[in-house]
Amino acid sequence: METTSNPTHSRETLVEQLTHVASLPGVYLMRDDQGAILYVGKARNLKKRLQSYFQAGRPHDPKTAMLLTKVASYETILTHSEKEALILESNLIKRHRPRYNVVLKDDKRYPSLRLNVNDRYPNLTIVRKPQHDGALYFGPYASAGAVRQSLKFINKTFKLCKCRCESFKKRARPCLNYQMDLCMGPCFQEIDPKAYREVVKEVVAFLRGRTPDLIRKIKKQMTAAAENQNFEQAARLRDKMFALERTLERQVSVTNDFSDRDVVGGVLDENVSVVTLLRVRGGFLLGTRHFVFEDALGSISEQLGAFIEQYYGQDHLVPKELLVSHMPPDQDLLEELLYEKRGGRSAIIAPQRGDKQKLVEVALQNARQALEDHRRLGQDQRDLLQRLQNRLHLRRLPARIECFDNSNLSGTEPVAAMVVFENGVPQPSAYRKFKLKAFGKPDDYAHMAEVLQRRLLNEEMAGHPPDLLLVDGGRGQLNVALKVLGILNLTDKVDVAGIAKKDLSAGEDQDRIYLAGRVNPVQFGREQDLLRFLQRIRDEAHRFAITFQRLRRKKTVLRSRLDEIEGIGPKRRAQLLSHFGGLQRIRAASLEELQALPGISPQLAQNIKKALVSE
């Protein structure tokens, strides 16, 4: 692999540098005058591809023309093959998230179900971020409600255990789930691991969309149990079969071949594109997801290729067949990558007729509707922000609003939180937490000044100044914010407002919004939705700050009680908490129980008892 770069900024020099670009496969990165990466692309022939951008008089679509006005430099990375260029491009996009690329967000936001098949008695848990830990993951689900509904049905129908394995040995009686007939009870009674594994296989089949096969299997087991006059077992199997049949009735059958496939349809309108993914398992539609991309370069075919490359690179199950509305230009390379991911052939098909083409049309209809909804919601948000700008007399549209809130417990463990709303939508990835100086007593003004200075002087965030800076508090906090902006010479660049909770004792019926140079709080009249919007931002900042403060306080409590005991370090503290389940049980444990743990000597056990009992 070879890398070349061009640090110059003039368009003439960019064209001149083309003579030094090799006619080989590789990746190119376009940067602005600040060095930020605007776009990452791949090419079979780097020289020809870059010439297509910089040739004089060559027409470009509006988005490409806009990109080229911002390009100040570029660099190229040579690779040995197109496949290596494809992989490198994907990795660079994930790392740098350029504005003009199709950038697929992580599925951390979306819940999945995790089944650790390596446990003696595997159970299902809800997680946000899949790991490479040998467990099976199902999802992601579109909402937390959807995953909880699926988990509730599985718990009621298949009765997997709910307790964690480390709690088994502590139970002297069955758990509540067992008493409610929602668990087989391996936490207190011996369950044949082989029989339990059979139930786990049924759960996996259900989550993978194999419900018809599972129903047929259970029906055979029910018939066999009835023939052997095991009527109780037959009745349980009958109830399980009926539950699965009711679930199957709610699923939509879209094909008659009972195959597994994903369907990807994409639509592009001006600077916004939407990709819709349909998951079809066993001929039934299991889920639909929409992905919205703004300012992404390329035709819809190229964007679908980038989507496929990134989506199936996130540990999603690769189907045997992938139906697309537009064939990606790198079909062969993508099929090769999917083959390696799946461990078998995965075909990318753009059907032109028949049932498969109808499936693609369903995906396209959903994508068009999602695009229309996105534009409508986007317009509603723009209207709200424009009305907010007018009501608060802001100098700019508040496209980026940052809200700050402080939290402490009687002056101890003070923290602050910053939440960010862009175009009216929260941006959790831009949230920040701050540990503040402790003064021994609450000092909200000093804490507000500290956090604002740290944020506004932070080089990492300097390129994203807020259009509106919202502080939680009344006139005092607002004046602190204005003073900080004045010190940093930002008074003319950033608008600021304070939001104070209503004072019921003073007869106030709503929260107050204070502005610089204005004595009375803002009156919203009929535009109460603007006040509710600002309250929502304030409440999110308050939630974020309180959560962080509680976490800090919890760590402090644990550290003061265990870490101060001589001979107790982080590993031994974790060992004690894991074994006994909490400080109360450690305090109640006998010396013999403490000494039974590996590494706990008689002297250390006495030190633990002395330190905890004396509290």
Is residue 446 a part of any domain in this protein?
Answer: yes
Q: Does residue 113 share a domain with residue 90? A: no
Q: Does residue 517 share a domain with residue 454? A: yes
| Dihedral class, residue 77 (left if φ above 0, else alpha if ψ from -120 to 50, else beta) | beta
Cα gap 508→222, rounded to integer Å: 67
Residues 6+ away with beta carbon under 8 Å from 538: 403, 405, 470, 472, 499, 511
The per-residue pLDDT for 10 is 62
Q: Does residue 245 share a domain with residue 126? A: yes
Q: Does residue 135 share a domain with residue 14? A: no
- Quickly state the pLDDT bin for 579 (edges 50, 70, 90): confident
Among 402-406, 501-505, 601-605, the range of highest mean pLDDT: 402-406
Tokens of 498: 């304070």
Is residue 102 a part of any domain in this protein?
Answer: no
Q: Does residue 287 share a domain with residue 216? A: no
Is residue 91 a part of any domain in this protein?
Answer: yes
Is residue 540 a part of any domain in this protein?
Answer: no
Q: Does residue 225 share a domain with residue 174? A: yes
Is residue 359 a part of any domain in this protein?
Answer: yes
- Within 13 A of 145's CA, how many CA atoms are on the CB side? 0
Does the pLDDT of residue 577 top 50, yes or no? yes
Q: Does residue 247 share a domain with residue 115? A: yes
Q: Give tens-digit pLDDT for 302-343.
A: 999 999 999 888 777 888 899 999 999 989 999 998 998 888
Query: In the sheet where 124-127 sits, what is the strand order?
Result: 124-127, 112-115, 136-138
Q: Does residue 313 share a domain with residue 339? A: yes
DSSP state for residue 44 in the 8-state scheme: S
Mean pLDDT is lowest, of 258-262, 317-321, 590-594, for: 258-262
What angle separates helix 62-70 from helix 46-54, to the nearest 10 degrees?
90
Is residue 395 a part of any domain in this protein?
Answer: no
Mean pLDDT is lowest, of 24-38, 120-134, 389-403, for: 120-134
The helix or strand, by DSSP H or E, that contains position 392, with its residue range, turns out to be: helix 354-392
- Residue 62 CB-density burial (10 A; 0-12 exposed, 13-18 middle, 19+ buried): exposed
- What proportion of the chain, given as a percentage, has pLDDT over 70? 91
Is residue 125 a part of any domain in this protein?
Answer: yes
Structural domain that includes position 146? 109-252
Any idea which residue has 């907010």 for tokens? 388
Residue by residue, DSSP assigns 511-524 as: -EEEETT-SSPPP-
CATH number of the domain residue 606 falls in: 1.10.150.20
Cα gap 46→76, rounded to integer Å: 8
Q: Does residue 232 share a domain with residue 173? A: yes
Any idea which residue has 């003070």 for tokens? 414
In 362-518 the beta strands, taken as DSSP E runs, fall at 400-409, 412-422, 425-426, 432-435, 468-472, 495-500, 512-515
Sign of the dihedral through C-alpha 42, 44, 47, 53:
negative
Q: What is the mean pLDDT of residues 543-551?
A: 88
CATH number of the domain residue 293 falls in: 3.30.420
Quickly count helices (H) and strands (E) in the chain.
Answer: 19, 20
Among 168-182, 399-413, 546-560, the range of highest mean pLDDT: 399-413
- Residue 599 CB-density burial (10 A; 0-12 exposed, 13-18 middle, 19+ buried): exposed
Q: Which amino acid is at 370?
A: A
The per-residue pLDDT for 62 is 83
Of the candidates 62, 96, 130, which is a domain's last residue?
A: 96
- Cβ–Cβ < 8 Å for 14, 6: yes
Cα gap 77→28, rounded to integer Å: 6
- Quickly state the pLDDT bin for 374 (edges 50, 70, 90): confident
Q: What is the mean pLDDT of residues 568-583?
A: 79
CATH number of the domain residue 440 falls in: 3.30.420.340
Structurally, the chain folds into a number of domains equal to 5
The per-residue pLDDT for 171 is 59
CA distances from 302 to 42, 68, 247, 433, 542 (A): 11, 19, 38, 38, 43
Does the pLDDT of residue 402 top 90, yes or no? yes
Q: Give tens-digit pLDDT for 72-84.
A: 889 999 998 888 8
The per-residue pLDDT for 380 is 86
Task: Write down the mean pLDDT value for the chain.
Answer: 84
Cα gap 95→89, rounded to integer Å: 10
- Within 13 A of 137's CA, how many CA atoms are on the CB side? 21
> Strand 252-253 and strand 37-43: pairing?
unpaired
Q: Does residue 500 share a domain with residue 431? A: yes
Q: Give tens-digit pLDDT for 195-223.
A: 888 888 888 888 877 778 788 888 888 98
DSSP state for residue 434 in the 8-state scheme: E
Mean pLDDT is lowest, of 8-12, 220-224, 529-533, for: 8-12
Q: What is the mean pLDDT of residues 116-137?
A: 81
Of the candidates 48, 65, 96, which is a domain's last residue?
A: 96
Is residue 579 a part of any domain in this protein?
Answer: yes
- Cβ–Cβ < 8 Å for 604, 612: no
Cα gap 437→28, rounded to integer Å: 46
Residues 6+ away with beta carbon under 8 Å from 340: none
The per-residue pLDDT for 6 is 46
Q: Does residue 130 share a domain with residue 12? A: no
Cα gap 188→175, rounded to integer Å: 8
Q: Does residue 124 share a domain with residue 12? A: no
CATH number of the domain residue 91 falls in: 3.40.1440.10
Of the candidates 40, 63, 96, which is a domain's last residue?
A: 96
- Within 13 A of 348's CA, how many CA atoms are on the CB side? 24
Q: What is the mean pLDDT of residues 230-255?
A: 74
The per-residue pLDDT for 556 is 66
